[in-house]
Chain A
Amino acid sequence: MKREPVLRVVGKLLIPYMLMFALYVQFHGDFGPGGGFQAGVVTAAAVIFYALIFGLPAARRVVPEALVETLVALGALVYMSVGFAGLLLGGNYLDYFVLAHDTVHGQERGIFWVEIGVLITVSGVMLKIFYMFAGRRREG
């Protein structure tokens, strides 16, 4: 598909906007619909789009397998670390109100980091599953 000029040009124009939209959905999820899950899926969709047009080896050069496998675990780790931060600062596990000088700011900070953790894990897992399905050679 990379020989088709229309697909190549439109893909190169769209993919930065898709990634930007994913970040918008992530951070605007506090004020409108959105949040970590939707943003993670849109991020994975942008890279899958790139892989569909330019081929899987090109996508593997841009987003290597080792990076994706790291992302899969990193997001869950970030989420659990927010919980431990609550423990270390004096509250119970996953207490947000101890994370800042003020209860409401603590809650906002906790929600921010927790959603980042969700974004990282969901985008990593969706992309990894796509790499595994698309990279497997068909037998028989």
Chain B
Amino acid sequence: MIVQTLLTLMAVVVLALVVQRNLFSVVVLAGIYSFLMATVLVALDAVDVAMTEASVGAGISTVLLLGALYLCGGEEAKPLTRPWLPLVVTLVIVGALVYGTLGLPAFSDPQAPIHTHVVPRYLSGALAETGVPNVVTAVLASYRGYDTLGETVVVFTAGIGVIALLRRARRAKGEGA
């Protein structure tokens, strides 16, 4: 019940985000959306993900967006001029996805395929094989360690990408950027 209520709140926030034109309000609404998502994730028992979403999604993303807004300076997005084609495309995609969700297993079904393949092996073996009770950390750092190596390299690449884009080269005074 709490999940459905929070999801309805998120839908309202997102609809407000679509129509808002003031960029500062849009950034604040995106932060509210991230915090509501973190709460929904706690209600769905995904505590590690909730902590990451709250700190990364609502914390760092908001800081970065405000920094970019300060540098870009635009306060208002321009009003819409006839976005009929995007609206039609979006509605078609919504129809297709809703049709697809009818084939998904019922919410919280223990016999769904997601619960019956490799996950019982992780849940039963994590504490005995790695000595770490938090199964998410065990899977992230040990069973799927290569993926986490790739992710660390992606974060590193983003860091040096931003350095490469925003570094001002040392040059004599008076030349352009």
Interfacial residues, chain A to chain B (CB-CB below 8 A): 25, 29-35, 37-38, 41-42, 44-45, 48, 69, 72-73, 75-76, 79-80, 83, 94, 96, 103-105, 107-108, 110-111, 114-115, 117-118, 121-122, 124-126, 128-130, 132-134, 136, 138-140
Q: Are A139 and B177 in contact (CB under 8 A)?
A: yes
Known: A41-B59, A96-B142, A132-B167. Contact between A79 and B149, CB under 8 A?
Answer: yes
The answer to whether B77 has its CB under 8 Å from any CB of chain A is no
Q: Are B129 and A125 in contact (CB under 8 A)?
A: no
Partner of A111, one of B48, B55, B137: B137
Instruction: Tell me the nearest residue of chain A to B128, going by C-beta.
Output: A104
A103: chain B residues at CB < 8 Å are: 129
B153: chain A residues at CB < 8 Å are: 76
Partner of B73, one of A38, A73, A108, A138: A138
Bound state CA distance, A93 and B14, in angstroms?
45
Give, as a whole number of angstroms, the nearest-CB distance from A102 to chain B: 10
Bound state CA distance, A139 and B72, in angstroms?
9
Instruction: Tell me the nearest residue of chain A to B140, going by C-beta.
Output: A35
A138: chain B residues at CB < 8 Å are: 70-71, 73
Q: Are A111 and B141 in contact (CB under 8 A)?
A: yes
Bound state CA distance, A25 and B134, in angstroms?
13
Partner of B131, one of A35, A107, A115, A130: A107
The answer to whether B64 has its CB under 8 Å from any CB of chain A is yes
The contact size tier of chain B is 35 or more
Q: Are B156 and A107 in contact (CB under 8 A)?
A: no
Bound state CA distance, A44 and B56, in angstroms?
11
Known: A41-B59, A104-B129, A133-B67. Contact between A125 and B134, CB under 8 A?
Answer: no
What total count of A-B pairs have CB within 8 Å? 137
Bound state CA distance, A107 and B81, in angstroms?
58
- A-B residue pairs in contact (CB < 8 Å), sample of 26: A33-B48, A34-B134, A35-B134, A37-B52, A38-B51, A41-B59, A45-B55, A72-B160, A76-B153, A80-B149, A94-B149, A108-B131, A114-B148, A117-B152, A122-B155, A125-B158, A128-B159, A128-B162, A129-B64, A129-B159, A130-B64, A132-B163, A132-B167, A133-B68, A136-B168, A140-B73
Bound state CA distance, A34 and B140, in angstroms?
12
A117: chain B residues at CB < 8 Å are: 152
Bound state CA distance, A69 and B132, in angstroms?
32
Q: Are B56 and A37 in contact (CB under 8 A)?
A: yes
A45: chain B residues at CB < 8 Å are: 55, 59-60
Instruction: Tell me the nearest residue of chain B to A76, going by C-beta.
Output: B156
The answer to whether B30 has its CB under 8 Å from any CB of chain A is no
The answer to whether B92 has its CB under 8 Å from any CB of chain A is no
Partner of B47, one of A30, A33, A75, A104: A33
Give, as a whole number of angstroms, the nearest-CB distance from B118 to chain A: 18
Bound state CA distance, A7 and B94, in angstroms?
47
